Amino acid sequence: MSKLQIALAPGDGIGPEVTGASLRVLEAAGVLDKVEFIEVEMGQRVFAAGDTRGMTDEAIETIERTGILYKGPMGTPIGGGGKSINVSLRKMYGAFANIRHFQSLPGVETVYSKAGVPVDFYVIRENIEDTYGGIEHRLTPDVFECKRIMSAPGCDQVHRAALRLARRLGIARVHCGHKANIMKMTDGLFLDRFRACARDFPEIEAEDVIIDALCMKLVLHPENFRMVVLPNLQGDIVSDLAAGLVGGLGFAPSANIGQHISIFEAVHGTAPDIAGQNKANPTSLLLSGLMMLRHIGMLRTAGVIENALLRTLEEGVHTGDFGDPGTPAVGTREFAEAIIQRIGSKPQTREPAPEPEEDTPHLERPARPTTNAMLRTFEQIVTQHVGADVYIESTLPIPELAQHLERLCEDTPFRLTLISNRGTQVWPSGSIFTELVDYWRCRFELRDHTLAGSLGQGPGISLLAKIGEKFTITDFQPLKDYDGRPGYSLAQGQ
């Protein structure tokens, strides 16, 4: 039988050490009898050679051919010179769901383990959109912008991935974390799509929780959560918070799941200060490798290795970053050897991981696309143009600014209805205590809303041209109704 091929990127700093240790454990458990790892070149050495992608053409070809990447921690140039490889890979390959499992481990002492509070939950993070689109602009001398992109198909992808995983694991309750009380359209969409997707999983209790309350509740009572699905930035922050509950990023495995390509990685840094010293803890990358084995169907081997790791930790074997300071720490290689010696053993102080019979590696992938896929959720929507938000740079006083804008729209289908500054309404009403910057949102809406169905975007663009003769325009956003509902938000105080 031909072996299943997996792309392998050892990483930078401590990456080659923790990768080597993890591979030794996988080999001892028989993984290399069924799987072939093909090393690819990416990371700091590629950046240093002048390739701002941080990965070679050959690496890209291998990843796309195999459909799986197992990678150690990667360094990213600070400042100019290249984007984060981690983010680039997830976005290039549509790895829309980041899955991290946080659980109390024997021998890893935390305030929760001391108190006898069990921690065992998953964070599922949307991986492509949100502010991680990196779309930023300087709008005025004083104002900078980062655009937040949320799509219904992107929400659907991560929610269905989370709910399918919950069903497979027998998790009965899934929480959606959000800030829809403030970001009513973007986080509101994320929450709405969670509720819509959850209707197809009636056996799972679907709940939601506001993100700040979630963080407090995770710290106070982590045992009350089994799975949380979150937008990208919030999920990134909560993932690190959750890692702190179980001992740090050294114990946090990570999988990035896509339709065609999936990535399994360590999420901690490259720790250049200890690189090459045989001090690094390989647990995170090894646990990520177990997620990878389960992804390809090697369920029994994954269970066997996990039980050997648990027994090793249970017996107090530890690297220098954790464990009983009264017992000597072991090195990276020695930690791996301790796990290998315990293959076939099971933990004594906790329930062992299941070791089912299924153990044949396989990877089902859709056919390679011939063009970029266009994702759609809402295909039968009636849209109508009803106005425009024009963003301008100005230091004029509010009454004078409003007078100029009202004159500019006199002979158009639109009237000035709102001026806001940093999201807060300042005209036609507002507070004298609202402090201002040189960036304004000026909202123009149809004088006669019955015209909405007969006008396109042309009149709004004509208005934009008139305003552009008098003011510096920094942005323009057509206002539209979708099935009769406004596709734009109110200002604070409106």
User: Which pLDDT tens digit goes with each residue over 16-42?
Assistant: 999 999 999 999 999 999 999 999 999
Fold of the domain built from segment(s) 1-108+247-378? Isopropylmalate Dehydrogenase (3.40.718)
* Delimiting residues of CATH 3.30.70.1570 domain(s) in the chain: 383-486
CA distance 243 to 238: 8
For the chain, the farthest-separated pair of C-alpha atoms sits apart, in whole angstroms, at: 84
Q: What is the pLDDT of residue 86?
A: 85
The residue type found at 5 is Q
Residues 6+ positions from 483 with CB-CB distance below 8 Å: 381, 382
Contact 417, 479 (CB under 8 A): no
Rounded distance between C-alpha atoms, residue 195 and residue 482, angstroms: 20
Residue 167, C-beta contacts closer than 8 angstroms, at least 6 positions apart = 201, 203, 204
Q: Which two tokens stand for residue 275?
A: 């690189």
Predicted confidence at residue 78, as pLDDT, reads 66
| pLDDT for the residue 1 | 59
Pairing mode of beta strands 383-393, 472-482: antiparallel
Question: Which pLDDT score is estimated for 237?
Answer: 97
CA dist., res. 150 & res. 158, Å (int): 12
What span, in angstroms and rounded, lies between the C-alpha atoms of 425 and 493? 6
Query: Start-end ranges of CATH 3.40.718.10 in the chain?
Result: 1-108+247-378
Q: What is the pTM of this model?
A: 0.92
Q: Phi and psi for 138 in degrees, rounded to 5?
A: -95, 120
CATH code reported for the domain at 383-486:
3.30.70.1570
Residues 6+ apart with CB under 8 A from 485: none
pLDDT < 50 regions, the chain: none
Q: Locate tokens 């300071």: which residue?
A: 325
